[in-house]
Every structure is written in C-alpha cells, then in structure tokens.
Amino acid sequence: MSRSFARGVLTGALAPVAFVAGTVYWIYRFTRKVPFPVRRAQEGELVVGLVDPQEVPAYWQRWRAELEPLWARVQAVTRELKESYRLPE
C-alpha cells in the first residue's frame, strides 16, 4: 500500500469525524447543550435530542451495553487490517 493511498484513506476516514465534531461544537456554543441519542423510537430509528453535558454519562450508560458487540467487531476488523497491511520498514 503506497503512502499516498494510506493518507487518502486516513483523510477520508477523519474528514467525516471532524465535520461531526465541528457541528457538535457549533451546537454547543449556541445552546450550551450537546446532541446525543436519547432513545430508540423503533427498530432502526434513533431519536437525538439536546441534553446538558452533565447528563451525557447517564445516557451513555444506556447505550454502552448495546454498542459493546459493535465496538468489539470494529476493534477486530481494525486489528486484522493492521496485520494484513503492514508497511515495510
């Protein structure tokens, strides 16, 4: 894998994260609240509301158990990609 390709993949992965972070910061600056998923209306639907930053840990505890399998899968895929695409030194 060439370095320019790796940079392109990294940029492509980080750009959406930077956009979301900027949007959340902008919302926080004007409302002093942060957007966070507050409940699941139906299967496949997610309701995002503006909550006080102090309330985020309570909401996060609700979502943590549901996200554990997904997070484990992301870690496994990342580990596999690192092992299979090691750049020669």
**Pairwise CA distance, residues 1 & 5, whole Å:** 7
Identity at 28, one-letter amino acid code: Y
What does the pLDDT look like over 24-65, one tens digit per residue? 999 999 999 999 988 888 888 888 999 999 999 998 988 888
Domain ranges of the chain: 3-84
What does the pLDDT look like over 64-74, one tens digit per residue? 888 899 899 99
Residue in 71, 34, 72 with CA at minimum distance from that of residue 53: 34
Mean pLDDT of 1-18: 84
Can you give the pLDDT at residue 63? 86
Do residues 71 and 79 make contact, with C-beta atoms less than 8 angstroms apart?
no
